[in-house]
Structure 1
Amino acid sequence: MSKGLVCFDMDGVLVDYLSTWEWVYDKLNLSNEEAYNAFQDGLITEWEWIKYDLDLIRSALKEDMNNDTLHQLLEDCPLMKNLRDSIQDLLDYGLDVSIISGGMHPVAHRIASNFITGNKWIPRFGGIDKISSEKFCDGFDTKLYVFTNGWNYYSDGEIPEKGRYQVQLIAKGSIVSILQRRLSVPISRTVSIGDSKQDSSMFDFSGLKIAFNTRHEELIEKCDIFIEERDLSLVSKNILNYFNSLE
């Protein structure tokens, strides 16, 4: 039985950059401001926003728009300080760890690859995809539950127009709730860590709410702990202190 559940946002929390999407835009000298504003104004859905962003990237890459190229663009996307040790400490304590993000899936899968099980990859709820398993995990599975957005791809690496849409930004808490039911974890033994107002819904299902590396007053007001320094060891320390206080 799980001792508890820890749910991380990725962009700005596990990734030391505004977002994985922005990382690709900046590399290709692109701006998605038009689609961002359209989404904020309610003119397009999240699904349409992802499609627009993939079309934007396709306009720059043209015939080079494929799964391998996008993976390569994300290979050096910077990760947050002390990420590996911090998540490992949580796993060693007996906690389940999940990434719930609207960010690009290859980076989340690369992060998850630091925590490999002894089991060969098979499709599962919250699992990484087969290509990521082969690329990052030598064909093995990861201990983490991963839910992200990004793109789909065919066996030849071609990327269709429709994107990968696992996470509804305004309803990330619904994934937390599903994990709680599957793992038999109560709200009191659930922790969420986020940096944007979209992470607020995860807080609704959490006994400990950590705002990390954020300027969003709404999230700061709703959290139990606000950590400004971009160091995940401070996050894991507070989480372990919280669970020890429950014993």
Structure 2
Amino acid sequence: MCTYPCYRYNKVAAPNRKKKTKNISLVFFDMDGVLLDTVSSWRYVHEYFGTTNERSIIPYLRGDIDYLEFIRRDVSLWKKNNQHVKKTTLENIMNTIPFIKGTKETISFLHHCGIHTAIVSAGINLLADRVARDLGIEYVFANEVTVGADGRLTGEGVLHVELTHKDKNVKELSQKLSVPLNACAAVGNSCFDISMLEVCGLGIAFNPEDACVEHSADIVIKEKDLSRLIPALESYI
């Protein structure tokens, strides 16, 4: 049984799988629950402010609002003294989120093997950029919160990653680097990662939250240690 909310509530079907996998040369990672030890960076910030985005989730999954509006509704709740918070405040909150065990070791291994790495996250760009810098990940796709001249969030955002269509970002970078999709791997943990797991030659469910992401993966790693990815990938490198 899948947890709720679930990818299956999205009306657009996931793409067909690639059946033949070449030597992997590009690996895509979801961020929350895969690289970082948190279910959701958005939720992490909400918990700090004592707010919640639950009222926006169902309208989004039903198609009543788009993901950009979903982001706007989230950011509009993060206020202090009736003002939007400063960028530095948000960064300080998110900087307390720890890495999943084995993350640094795994990314170092991939880079040592000459494999490109990328983050595809519907999370916050400020956090994704910091994670990429700390780990040396080359490419980042995440959603942007806009910052005004006063250093405060404006309450607006820029959509770069659709929650249920991460395959679009995978295809974009695959084409840019001239890496065929069957030479790509994707690592995710939830229903919202299914589209990128299925479009890549190798889909890996890591520390999976949902039964459906397990069923959509070629490899399932249930232990919460990303270094378990290393032996799983060795035969594909």
TM-score by length of 2: 0.85
Q: Among residues 110, 113, 121, which one is paired with 1:90 in the alignment?
A: 110
Compared with structure 1, are the counterparts of its residues 77 and 61 closer, same or farther at alpha carbon in structure 2 (3 Å cutoff)? farther
Distance 2:205 2:39 in 1: 15
Q: Deviations over 1:197-240 (max 9, x none)?
A: 12111123211110111132221111111111110101133123
Partner residue of 2:59? Answer: 38
1:102 counterpart SS class: strand
Judged with a 3 Å threshold, the aligned counterparts in structure 2 of structure 1 residues 173 and 61 are, in CA distance, closer, same or farther, namely: farther
1:109 to 129, 144, 147: 129
What SS is found at the alignment partner of 1:6?
strand
Q: Of residues 57, 65, 75 in structure 2, which corresponds to 1:54?
A: 75
Which of 47, 51, 63 is the matching residue for 2:83?
63
Would you say the 8 A contact 1:13–1:80 is kept in 2? yes
Cα distance in 2, alignment partners of residues 18 and 96 from structure 1: 25
**2:24/2:185 contact within 8 Å kept:** no
Report 1 or 2 for greater relative contact order, CA contacts < 8 Å, sequence distance ≥ 6: 2
Q: For residues 96-245 of structure 1, what are the structure 2 equivalents within 5 Å?
A: 96-116=116-136, 143-243=137-237
Aligned equivalents of 2:106 and 2:149: distance in 1? 35
Q: 1:239 to 1:61 in 2, by over 3 A?
A: farther
1:76 maps to what in 2?
A: 96
Q: CA deviation at 1:103?
A: 0.9
Paired residues of 1:191 and 1:239 also in contact (CA < 8 A): no
CA distance in 1, matches of 2:202, 2:25: 11
The AA in structure 2 aligned to 1:75 is N
SS at match of 1:169: coil
Aligned partner of 1:65: which letter? V
- 1:161 CA drift (Å): 2.5
Name the CA distance, whole Å, in 2 between partners of 1:192 and 1:41: 26
Divergent runs of 4+, >4 A: none
Alpha-carbon shift at residue 64 of structure 1 (Å) = 5.8
Question: Quick check: which one's helix share is greater?
Answer: 1
Distance 1:115 1:175 in 2: 20
Computed over aligned residues only, the root mean square deviation of the Cα atoms, in angstroms, reads 1.8
Taking only the aligned residue pairs, the percentage that are identical comes to 32
Distance 1:172 1:27, change over 3 A: same
Match of 2:40 among 14, 19, 38: 19
Q: Deviations over 1:61-110 (max 9, x none)?
A: 63361211111111101211111111011011001100000111222122
Give the whole-Å Cα distance in 1 for the aligned partners of 2:164 and 2:154.
Answer: 25
> 1:216/1:229 Cα in 2 relative to 1: closer, same or farther (>3 Å)?
same
Deviation at 1:154, TM superposition (A): 2.9
TM-score between both structures, scaled by the size of structure 1: 0.81
Structure 1 gap segments, 5+ residues each: 117-142
